[in-house]
Amino acid sequence: MALQIINAGGSDSQEIAERMHKAIAGAIPDAQIEVRPTSTGHFEIRVSSNAFSGKTRVAQHQLVYAAITDLMTGNDAPVHAVDRLDCLVPE
């Protein structure tokens, strides 16, 4: 089995962060979203939305991950990991 280096010389992290932002906004329209690249293929996400109200933390995270699944799937996926995901309900 050969070693495969994913994302070597790949897409710009900020452009991927913008794609993630757009995908989350499409899935959770009222959301306030921050996506920050931390290293190649790694990101931190903070989402505030009324859609999270009454949901468990796991259910909140599932909503966000469902929105970005396409960016995390396959051998050439631009997103390798979400290092931190904060889901908040606005006050």
Model confidence at 91, in pLDDT bands (50, 70, 90)?
confident
Average pLDDT for 62-85: 96
**Cβ pair 33, 25 in contact under 8 A:** yes
Q: What is the pLDDT of residue 13?
A: 92
Tell me the pTM: 0.85
Contact status, residue 45 vs residue 64, Cβ threshold 8 Å: yes
Condensed to tens digits (0 to 9), the pLDDT of residues 13-60 reads 999 999 999 999 999 999 999 999 999 999 999 999 999 999 999 999
Domains and CATH numbers, the chain: 13-88 (3.30.300.90)
The residues, ordered by sequence, that sit 6+ positions from 46 with a Cβ below 8 Å of its Cβ are 33, 34, 85, 86, 88
69 pLDDT more than 50: yes
Q: What is the pLDDT of residue 11?
A: 55
